[in-house]
């Protein structure tokens, strides 16, 4: 934005409504009503209340007082958890060590993840989609915390990933994965959430988050899983990251990397943007 049109507007307009007429506000920014002009020497302070002139009525174009000053999701914290990591396969001792996984279980720290038949890895997919989701959420003013910083490291372990979500005070924690079923014809996405719940966040909040993600992906044209869960939702008791979460958490299995048709979508930047768009919109819907 340049300043000269704004100055022109100021020179032209004397009324409060000039802000609307000249269109100088940013999109989505509520129109601010400027204070009454008070150039030096023209104010009339110290009048008794009975002599204070009434304030001019607000311009009819001003928004109602109930208009939100910022989008309702701005400032909220969301943890995005890209599944696996690029260094996991080269560090088996580290990722195979047992860590607490909730419900009295222990599980491997992390796993390598799957890949398409052509060799496009799940960790690369989850990282790419997560970065796209982060960008979309940040544009809404949401504070995004990632459980890993790049796609070349090892881990972190599932218990550490859950702890990152818990310590951030996240309004939502979303893990992003893709599946690797070799069952003939198996395809479609599903959303996992912890069940039976181990704390209040794993109850209705987590199920609502999972449902929002399911609805968002379905609205975006993605098919629900033919082989896991029901109508795209999969309650699970065996996933450490979900078991250990004290924030509303859900895990998106975006599709089956071993299915040729889905592998083509999962492997393409355009396909990954579609997933990211749907996931980000679902999170915003849930938060809003």
Instruction: Identify which of residues 140 and 258 has a Cβ nearer to Zn ion in the complex.
Output: 258
Q: Compute the least distance from the CB of residue 235 to Zn ion, in Å.
A: 18
Q: Could you tell me which of 154, 138, 16 has the C-alpha nearest to residue 78? A: 138
Structure token digits, residue 269: 């930047």
Instruction: Identify which of residues 183 and 219 has a Cβ nearer to Zn ion in the complex.
Output: 183
Stretch of residues binding Zn ion (CB under 5 A), selected from 63-71, 111-119, 143-151, 204-212: 111-119
Q: Which residues, 51 to 110, sit near Zn ion by CB under 5 A?
A: 83
d(CA 125, CA 254): 10
Quick check: 165 and 173 in contact, CB under 8 A? yes
Instruction: Identify which of residues 83 and 271 has a Cβ nearer to Zn ion in the complex.
Output: 83
SS3 33: coil
Instruction: Identify which of residues 83 and 87 has a Cβ nearer to Zn ion in the complex.
Output: 83
Write down the residue that tokens 């958490």 correspond to: 249
The DSSP code for 51 is G
Instruction: Identify which of residues 102 and 113 has a Cβ nearer to Zn ion in the complex.
Output: 113
Quick check: 61 and 31 in contact, CB under 8 A? yes
Q: Compute the least distance from the CB of residue 83 to Zn ion, in Å.
A: 4
d(CA 272, CA 239): 24
Distances (CA, A) of 170 to 53, 108, 249, 253: 49, 25, 9, 21
Per the annotation, the verdict on 253 as an active-site residue is: yes
Structure token digits, residue 40: 């030096």
Residue window 156-195: x/- pattern of binding to Zn ion, with contact defined by CB under 5 A: ---------------------x------------------
Structure token digits, residue 127: 């990282």
Close Cβ partners of 179 (under 8 Å, ≥ 6 residues apart): 114, 190, 228, 253, 255, 256, 257, 258
Close Cβ partners of 74 (under 8 Å, ≥ 6 residues apart): 140, 141, 142
Structure token digits, residue 92: 């088996």
Instruction: Identify which of residues 24 and 126 has a Cβ nearer to Zn ion in the complex.
Output: 126
| 113 interacts with Zn ion by CB under 5 A | yes
d(CA 269, CA 61): 44
Q: Compute the least distance from the CB of residue 254 to Zn ion, in Å.
A: 10
Residue nearest to Zn ion (CB): 177
Which is the catalytic residue, given 122, 253, 262, 285? 253
Number of residues lying near Zn ion (CB under 5 A): 3
Residues written for the chain: 288
Stretch of residues binding Zn ion (CB under 5 A), selected from 112-120, 130-138, 195-203, 213-221: 112-120
Residue window 120-149: x/- pattern of binding to Zn ion, with contact defined by CB under 5 A: ------------------------------
Could you give the residue numbers annotated as active site?
A: 253
Residues in contact with Zn ion by CB under 5 A are: 83, 113, 177
């Amino acid at each position: 934005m340049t300043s000269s049109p704004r100055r022109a507007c100021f020179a032209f307009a004397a009324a409060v409504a000039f802000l609307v007429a000249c269109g100088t506000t940013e999109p989505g920014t509520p129109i601010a009503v400027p204070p009454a002009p008070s150039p030096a020497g023209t104010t009339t302070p110290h009048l008794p209340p009975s002599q204070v002139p009434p304030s001019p009525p607000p311009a009819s174009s001003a928004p109602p007082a109930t208009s939100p000053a910022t989008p309702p999701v701005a400032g909220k914290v969301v943890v995005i958890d890209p599944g696996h990591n690029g260094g996991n396969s080269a560090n088996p001792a580290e990722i195979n060590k047992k860590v607490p996984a909730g419900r009295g279980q222990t599980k491997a720290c992390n796993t390598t993840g799957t890949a398409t038949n052509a060799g496009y890895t799940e960790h690369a997919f989850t990282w790419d989609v997560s970065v796209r989701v982060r960008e979309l959420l940040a544009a809404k003013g949401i504070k995004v915390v990632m459980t890993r910083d790049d796609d070349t490291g090892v881990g972190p372990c599932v218990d550490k990933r859950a702890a990152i979500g818990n310590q951030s005070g996240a309004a939502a924690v979303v893990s992003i994965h893709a599946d690797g079923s070799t069952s003939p014809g198996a395809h479609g996405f599903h959303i996992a959430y912890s069940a039976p719940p181990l704390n209040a966040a794993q109850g209705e909040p987590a199920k609502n988050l999972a449902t929002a993600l399911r609805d968002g992906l379905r609205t975006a044209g993605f098919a629900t899983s033919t082989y896991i869960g029901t109508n795209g939702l999969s309650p699970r008791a065996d996933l450490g990251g979900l078991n250990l979460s004290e924030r509303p958490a859900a895990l998106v299995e975006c599709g089956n990397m071993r299915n040729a048709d889905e592998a083509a979508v999962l492997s393409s930047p355009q396909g990954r943007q579609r997933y990211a768009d749907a996931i980000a919109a679902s999170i915003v819907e849930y938060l809003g």
